[in-house]
Amino acid sequence: KAGVTQTPRYLIKTRGQQVTLSCSPISGHRSVSWYQQTPGQGLQFLFEYFSETQRNKGNFPGRFSGRQFSNSRSEMNVSTLELGDSALYLCASSGPGGLWTGELFFGEGSRLTVL
């Protein structure tokens, strides 16, 4: 069973640019959530999508957005990049009950560097 796939793995952008990150969940998983990991801050929740609908959103500015497609693949977008957006962005998928029990399956992440 293929795992969660995130692309690209690494990318470098400059301030003011925008970026789009992609996530393909495990087949059959309909919930996709996104997290930002920065040194010393742990994993901070960005948003969660289920059946193309955003169910939850974390405490991030409106520059951070996402969407989910009918095949459960998800994308997140960050506009007007700032230096502080440099981080590892992790996508996770879960099956039925996954969010309740907390058992998420994570991808390897997309490492974004903003210069």
Partner 1 sequence: DQQVKQNSPSLSVQEGRISILNCDYTNSMFDYFLWYKKYPAEGPTFLISISSIKDKNEDGRFTVFLNKSAKHLSLHIVPSQPGDSAVYFCAASAVSGAGSYQLTFGKGTKLSVIP
Q: How far apart are CA 94 and CA 60, in angstroms?
A: 22
Tell me if residue 99 falls in helix, strand or coil: helix
Q: How far apart are CA 7 and CA 9, in angstroms?
A: 5
Task: Please check whether residue 31 is in contact with residue 98, taking contact to mean a CB–CB distance below 8 angstroms.
Answer: yes
Question: What would the x/- binding string for partner 1 be over residues 72 to 91, using CB under 8 A?
Answer: ------------------x-
Quick check: 62 binds partner 1 (CB under 8 A)? no
Quick check: 107 binds partner 1 (CB under 8 A)? yes
> What is the closest distance, in whole angstroms, from the C-beta atom of residue 26 to partner 1 in the complex?
12
Contacts with partner 1, residue ranges (CB under 8 A): 4, 33, 35, 40-45, 48, 50, 55-56, 90, 92, 99-109
